[in-house]
Amino acid sequence: MKERRKPGLRKLRFFLDALLTLLLLLAVFAALSSRARGEEARFRRAERADLAGPSEIIARLDVPEDWPHVHYDRLLLGDDGEEIFFYLLREGGNEMLYRREKTGGMLLTPVPCWNPLEPAPWRGEEPCLPLLLFTEAPAARAEVRLRLSETCELELASEAGETGAEDGPERARFFLFRIPVPKNARLRKTELLRELLETNAVSSPGQGEFPATIRLYDEKNDLLETREYTVRSRSAG
């Protein structure tokens, strides 16, 4: 005859099953919560892991094709008053957080690369090198003059529509500059622009610094501020 389980054991079996279910659901919850949904939530989580923030997100950029050796698709920029946070997002869910300290309320920096140890080739037909300027006081337009060597100075103007202010106020605290770097562009007979940019660690990993002058203008094109600034590249690491 088939042996039947005692009805009194049913309670015990019920509680065991319930406990197992609870444990499994907890494990599933932990697994599901391990990745934040949405780029902002992920940015916030990365900030906390870097013992930083919360910062104000000042721009979200789709990375253009012609930016060299960046290897990411989206860039979120956060500002906590002291530092600028660069949150690099790549297709497939990978992300990375860089941070750069402001000097005197300003930061002028080459955009960070995904992997600073592996410089990648220049991309696009007319590749460019992007520079980002963050200011404390908002302005309508910005210009920078980079002194890359004793004989080489570059004058750059901020790009319209790239201030990070999406349909917002006319003034912004974030400006994008592009240094056009056509293939074999020569400053002089023996001086390649690319080499100069590499020497100054603008376009490649390493340590470098060079002086720059930053000028900020208002809506009427009146000069708001002129600042002497030293652009410092952070070493690879």
Partner 1 sequence: MGVLRFERWCSLAVGRIRFKPDRKEIYEELYAHMEDQYAELTAAGTGEKEAEEAVAEAMGDAMETARQLERLYRPFWGYALRVARCCLALALVLALAILPGYIRQLGLYTNPAEEFFGESLETEWSDNRRVWYAEPEARDKSDGYTFTVTRLAERSFGSKAEPEERRGVLYLEIRVFNPRPWAEKCTAFRELCAVDSLGTVYESADYTDRKPYLAANRTRRGLFTDTWVVILRDYVSQETGWIELRYDKSGRHLRLTVDLSGRKEAAA
> Of the ranges 5-13, 61-69, 122-130, 148-156, which one interacts with partner 1 (CB under 8 A)?
5-13
According to the binding rule CB under 8 A, does residue 118 interact with partner 1?
no
For the chain, percent helix, then strand, then coil, each to nearest 5?
20, 35, 45
Q: Using CB atoms within 10 A of its CB, is residue 53 exposed (0-12), middle (13-18) or buried (19+)?
A: buried
Backbone angles phi, psi at 87, to 5 degrees: -105, 110
According to the binding rule CB under 8 A, does residue 117 interact with partner 1?
no
According to the binding rule CB under 8 A, does residue 145 interact with partner 1?
no
Cβ neighbours of 155 (radius 10 Å): 9
According to the binding rule CB under 8 A, does residue 136 interact with partner 1?
no
CA distance 89 to 74: 5
Q: Pick from 38, 92, 104, 237: which binds partner 1 (CB under 8 A)?
A: 237
CA distances from 74 to 14, 67, 88, 95, 100 (A): 50, 12, 6, 9, 18
Residue 153 pairs with which residues in a beta bridge? 147
Residues 84-103 that bind partner 1 (CB under 8 A): 97, 99
| Tokens encoding 200 | 């100054």
According to the binding rule CB under 8 A, does residue 78 interact with partner 1?
no
CB of 172 to partner 1, least distance (A): 23
CB of 73 to partner 1, least distance (A): 20
- x/- mask, partner 1, residues 10-49, rule CB under 8 A, reads xx-xx--xx-xx--xx-xx-xxxxxx---------xx-xx
User: Which parts of this chain interact with partner 1 (CB under 8 A)?
Assistant: 1-2, 4, 7, 10-11, 13-14, 17-18, 20-21, 24-25, 27-28, 30-35, 45-46, 48-53, 80, 82-83, 97, 99, 207, 234-235, 237
